[in-house]
Amino acid sequence: MHKKTGKIFSILTISLFLLSSCSTVPITGRKRIALLPSSNLTTMALQSYRTLLNKSRLSNDSRKIAIVRRVGRRIAVAAEQFMREEGLTKALKNFHWEFNLIDDPKTVNAFCMPGGKVAVYTGILPVAKNETGLAVILGHEVAHAIAKHGNERMSQLLLVQLGGIALDAALKSKPDQTRSFLMLAFGVAAQVGILLPFSRTHESEADHIGLILMARAGYNPVDAVSFWQRMDKLGGAKLPQFLSTHPASKTRVKRLKKLLPEVIKYYKK
């Protein structure tokens, strides 16, 4: 095969592969690329989850554990109903819900891995205050899993790495100093122009879907506004929004308020 023809064939092959890997995020309708098979990602997530639990100190507070698992079950049921209605029934086979509470008062965090493996750190419970606040957290984290943000994030990193390799190969004839400068510029542009904005998009989508999940689970979505306001009051250094993976707190709260008329109907039902 001619060298030029081979390059064109490779580009067409990659383009077709990327197009075939595109899917749509529920509610927002945004097109995403998910290059990794969901079953493989679920297996990797389970291994990471087990490793984390083995290294962590799990809470032995039966009352708090019961609250986390009660709210978690309600959010999980709402998520499964939501996925069926959104035509994502096949994806349900990869979800095996599990909710654990990690005893770490200094860590204000929670997460949901692909496949529905959830961990809540005790440090976030005072911010949650009650079950509704916890529903805000779990709804948001489960929404990340439903929207396949983990798969998309890994796919983005893979594509950026491939782009860097291709650029480095194209610059082989350039002086070393020029190559180093251009590669550095590529890294900064990829981080600020691609990866960070996508992270903020993920957070906004998780806010939107999370509100729907908590409302469908029977928790008042209006309380999400006060929860994120409490999170904002925790303090700490705040990066400019364009350099942050999360939307600015004021931006997030403003967006949540706009979404309330849409999602409150699920709660009223």
Catalytic residue among 141, 152, 203, 205: 141
141 is annotated as an active-site residue: yes
With helix as H, strand as E and coil as C, how does the chain read?
CCHHHHHHHHHHHHHHHHHHCEEECCCCCCEEECCCCHHHHHHHHHHHHHHHHHHCCECCCHHHHHHHHHHHHHHHHHHHHHHHHCCCHHHHHHCCCEEEEECCCCCCCEEEECCCEEEEEHHHHHHHCCHHHHHHHHHHHHHHHHCCHHHHHHHHHHHHHHHHHHHHHHCCCCCHHHHHHHHHHHHHHHHHHHHHHHHHHHHHHHHHHHHHHHHHCCCCCCHHHHHHHHHHCCCCCCCCHHHCCCCCHHHHHHHHHHHHHHHHHHHHC
Catalytic residues: 141
